[in-house]
Amino acid sequence: MTAPSLGLILECGPQGADKQVCEYLIERIRPGMRVRSETLDNKANLLRDSGKVAARLLKDGCECVLIVWDLRPAWPDRTDKPCRHTERIELLSLLAEAGVPEDAPVYLVCVEQELESWLLANERALSAFLSTPAHPFPVQRVRNPDRHPQPKAEVKGLFKQARGWLYNDTVHAIQVLKKVQLDFGRLRCSESFCRFEKMVLACRGR
């Protein structure tokens, strides 16, 4: 059996934090898996175009497709609270309109609330990244990172408090994860990471 090919649809730009982090995690979960990433720049585009992009990826030979997006923030022109269920229904409708069969291996992963939820789950990596030999910086463990209402704001505050740095997700998110050996036990405190891991493992080669 050849290594499976996974199509990855994301709401970030070509060098975005979501792409860097998801590709890194996939390589650790399934070493050798071939990944083809499609970045749609923002959530509004993802909730408009991911159906046809998924159909194209399947047609081009991907064994499965993973659509990953953040619950926060709400996409433009919406004033109501972001809702995972509503957005999932919208994505399923897009897939149907694009002719993707219901039983096609297309999996939806909504990160609650933001990518930084996964950083908060791995507090040892955050602490190692923000500490210096002279000034260790302990980071409190967050047992339910998906329930934190503003994870990006929390990470920004930690960066400012520890080092006076401005957090830049495109630069720092992947650096934090790579700082220490990946701790899947802690990452699995995040239900959305658990779903991401499960869906990556569900992709089978030919």
CA 181, CA 198: separation in Å to the nearest integer?
20
| Residue 206 confidence (pLDDT) above 70 | no
The total of structural domains in the chain comes to: 2
Domain span including residue 129? 116-184
Burial readout 119-128 (b: 16 or more C-beta within 10 A, e: otherwise): bbbbbebbbe
Same domain, 83 and 154: no
| Residue 2 confidence (pLDDT) above 80 | no
Same domain, 100 and 29: yes
pTM of the complete model: 0.93
Same domain, 18 and 106: yes
pLDDT tens track for 117-145: 999 999 999 999 999 999 999 999 998 99
Same domain, 106 and 161: no
pLDDT of amino acid 201: 95
| Residue 76 confidence (pLDDT) above 70 | no
Same domain, 146 and 83: no
pLDDT of amino acid 123: 95
* Interval 51-76 mean pLDDT: 90
